[in-house]
Amino acid sequence: MGGASESQAQLIHIRRSGGRQVARINGKPLSSASQWAYGSLARPAPSAMMRRRASHMHILILNQTFYPDVAATAQHMWDLARHLRAHGHRVTALTSRIRYGTDQPFEHARETIDGIEIRRMWQTRFGKRHLPGRLCDFLSFYASALIELFRCAPPDVILALSSPPMISVLGLLARLFRRRTDGGRIGLVYQTMDVYPDAAVAMGVLREDSLVARIMRRLTGRTLQAADAVVALGEDMKDLLVRRYRLGPSARRRIAVVHPWSDGRELSPLPRPPGSPTFHVVYSGNLGMAHDADTLAAAINLTRDDPTIRWTFVGAGRRFDDLRSRFGQDPRVEFLDYEPRARLNESLNRADVHLVSQAPQFTGLVVPSKLFGILAVGKPCLMVGPAQAECSRIISRAEAGFVIPNGRADALVARIRQLRDEPALRERLGANGRRAFERLFDRPIACERMRKVIESAAGPTRGDRQVT
């Protein structure tokens, strides 16, 4: 993940109170002079904005989660927003009023933090337990976001993600029916964190030939063709988009691959406590329908007579709940809630080996972002999934761990025991992963790549622009 931790960063909050602007830094009210200074940073004077329009843009991020949520996309978009802000761009985030994974609302519907304007949209609060309620949550968020897209100041570029599914279509509508303040066309960048409806079909939520799936596929294809730039999370995702949506050469050139990232300043290797008799196998992050929990469950059963191996699952998700219902009373298996970002480094470093998993039918549809935090802390990784998946390719190329085929719990347990018994191998694989992370996946590298893609989408004409 990116940026300085909350304990290190100075978070500047600017809210409206009683008709005047009130600023606080790390919770403490500022003097009038300081409020003026920070207010100027947060909202440049119109004349200055007009003078710098050629290089300084208004970028709108459209996603269901944003800071300070624990979801990976919320953390990544916060990193990116601060990076864009540091390069002089104005950033607005349209996001949900409801905290990720809960039915609890944020206190403020609108606020400005570190110069980034956050507008939190109303939505229903049924949660993920039942499909009709979840659909209602999505639809209410779509409606609120669409209204706000046409009420807020027109951006120069919209960055639309894929949470909730098809939210990018709202960005496409704004691009078609609104203009920038200078009269130009609004740019659209579509970042495919997940590919819909294909992911829903892989989950079994939709049938391949259903009317809903056909409509969603048509809309996704239209967005891919119309977007000024598309960001895929991996080469396997790019290949799937080109193949499944029959993208021509022009559209293909507008797809950039930008992997998820972590922040090498926040996440780094910590020494293992000496003399610990327990070998910690950790899964940290979302464990949902796209992940292979069955192989993990079988491996837990295979190690039931081995007191040296302890399993820890940190996070949430449908399959996380399934495992907790099966092993919640097992003293060898521990289930923990998401850790806040400020404690993530300590949490990830508790592991001797980390797990990543992916169901084979999701190859090209998702790229588990947990891998990049694992690489950052220099721990070996065992990937349970198909060899052609993006995470498998990264681990193999970096020699940062091993790839285990789906269903091979015996092979997974064998690798766990090998790493337990060979500390030198653990150290070598972890160091390889950290080197690959520093070279390819650190926050500044990825955010700078994203900045260039976003700025490329603001040109007067799209033409055959290549963003890869």
Q: Tens digits of per-residue pLDDT, 204-228?
A: 989 999 999 999 999 999 999 999 9
Q: How many CA atoms lie within 13 A of 196 on its CB side?
A: 21
Is residue 337 located within the same domain as residue 425? Answer: yes
Is residue 305 located within the same domain as residue 374? Answer: yes
Three-state DSSP state, 112 = strand
Query: How many domains are contained in the chain?
Result: 2
Is residue 283 located within the same domain as residue 241? Answer: no
Domain-located, residue 462: no
Q: What is the pLDDT of residue 336?
A: 96
Is residue 67 located within the same domain as residue 152? Answer: yes
Provide the pairing of β-strand 110-113 with 116-121: antiparallel
Q: What is the pLDDT of residue 161?
A: 95
Domain-located, residue 92: yes
Neighbour count for residue 464 (Cβ, 10 Å): 9
Is residue 187 located within the same domain as residue 284? Answer: no
Q: How many CA atoms lie within 13 A of 352 on its CB side?
A: 25
Q: What is the pLDDT of residue 466?
A: 57
Residue pair 341/100 in contact by the 8 Å Cβ criterion: no
Listed residue (212, 184, 188) closest to 200, CA to CA: 212
pTM recorded for the entire structure: 0.82
The DSSP annotation for 421-463 comes to H-HHHHHHHHHHHHHHIIIIIBHHHHHHHHHHHHHHTTSS--T
Q: What is the mean pLDDT of residues 99-126?
A: 87
Is residue 86 located within the same domain as residue 122? Answer: yes
**For all residues of the chain together, what is the average pLDDT?**
86
Q: What is the pLDDT of residue 19?
A: 42
Q: Is the peptide bond before 197 cis (omega within 30 degrees of 0)?
A: yes
Domain-located, residue 320: yes
CATH number at residue 304: 3.40.50.2000
Is residue 41 located within the same domain as residue 168? Answer: yes
Residue pair 142/153 in contact by the 8 Å Cβ criterion: no
- Min mean pLDDT across 39-43, 101-105, 125-129 is at 39-43
Neighbour count for residue 433 (Cβ, 10 Å): 29
Sequence-ordered list of residues with C-beta below 8 angstroms from that of 324, at least 6 positions apart, any chain: 313, 335
Q: What is the pLDDT of residue 27?
A: 55
Is residue 249 located within the same domain as residue 354? Answer: no
Q: What is the pLDDT of residue 37?
A: 34
CA-CA distances (angstroms) from residue 348 to 77, 198, 439?
Answer: 21, 31, 20
Structural domain containing residue 415: 279-441
Q: What is the pLDDT of residue 54?
A: 38
Whether the per-residue pLDDT at 333 is higher than 90: the answer is yes
Mean pLDDT: which of 21-25, 329-333, 338-342 is highest? 329-333
Q: What is the pLDDT of residue 41?
A: 38
Is residue 18 located within the same domain as residue 136? Answer: yes
Q: What is the pLDDT of residue 294?
A: 97
Q: What is the pLDDT of residue 264?
A: 96
Q: What is the mean pLDDT of residues 434-450?
A: 97
- C-alpha–C-alpha distance, residues 141 and 95, integer Å: 9
Whether the per-residue pLDDT at 23 is higher than 60: the answer is no
Element of type H or E holding 293: helix 293-302
Question: How far apart, in Å, do the first and last CA atoms of the chain sit?
Answer: 23
Q: What does the block give as tokens for 141?
A: 């968020």
Is residue 256 located within the same domain as residue 292? Answer: no
- Min mean pLDDT across 48-62, 231-245, 390-404, 425-439 is at 48-62
- Min mean pLDDT across 129-138, 300-309, 449-458 is at 129-138
Whether the per-residue pLDDT at 407 is higher than 50: the answer is yes
Q: What is the mean pLDDT of residues 262-287?
A: 91
Confidence category of residue 10, pLDDT binned at 50, 70, 90: very low
Whether the per-residue pLDDT at 328 is higher than 90: the answer is yes
Q: What is the pLDDT of residue 296?
A: 98
Domain-located, residue 322: yes
- C-alpha–C-alpha distance, residues 195 and 242, integer Å: 12
Sequence-ordered list of residues with C-beta below 8 angstroms from that of 463, at least 6 positions apart, any chain: none
Whether the per-residue pLDDT at 200 is higher than 90: the answer is yes
Q: What does the block give as tokens for 341?
A: 């970002």
Domain-located, residue 283: yes
Domain-located, residue 30: yes
Whether the per-residue pLDDT at 261 is higher than 50: the answer is yes
The predicted-structure confidence for 340-388, as pLDDT tens digits, reads as follows 889 999 999 999 999 999 999 999 999 999 999 999 999 999 999 999 9
Whether the per-residue pLDDT at 463 is higher than 70: the answer is no
Is residue 214 located within the same domain as residue 298? Answer: no
- C-alpha–C-alpha distance, residues 288 and 271, integer Å: 31
The predicted-structure confidence for 128-175, as pLDDT tens digits, reads as follows 667 777 788 889 889 999 999 999 999 999 999 988 889 999 999 998
Domain-located, residue 450: yes
**3-state DSSP of 17-85:** ECCEEEEEECCEECCHHHHHHHHHHHCCCHHHHHHCCCCCCEEEEECCCCCCCCCHHHHHHHHHHHHHH
Q: What is the pLDDT of residue 20?
A: 46
Q: Is the peptide bond before 164 cis (omega within 30 degrees of 0)?
A: yes
Is residue 257 located within the same domain as residue 288? Answer: no
Q: What does the block give as tokens for 163?
A: 């949470």
Residue pair 109/119 in contact by the 8 Å Cβ criterion: yes
Domain-located, residue 402: yes
Confidence category of residue 440, pLDDT binned at 50, 70, 90: very high
